[in-house]
Amino acid sequence: MIWESNVLLKYILNKCSDAENERVALWLSESEQNENTLSYLKLNLQTFK
């Protein structure tokens, strides 16, 4: 599946390993833009459900 190679998508779908969750948490803490990117992805993913 496509989500298997995309950590942010895996994060949104709650499919990340502990290490991947830590990577995403660190990435999110680095900037507001990163938080906005994740929010944008979540919003757009909802349109496909």
1-49: per-residue pLDDT in tens?
565 679 999 999 999 999 999 999 999 999 999 999 999 999 998 887 6
Q: What is the pLDDT at residue 47?
A: 80
Distance CA 44, CA 18 (A): 25
Residue written as token pair 């929010």: 39
Residues 7, 23 contacting (CB under 8 angstroms)? yes
What is the pLDDT at residue 3? 58
pLDDT at 32: 97
pTM of the model: 0.82
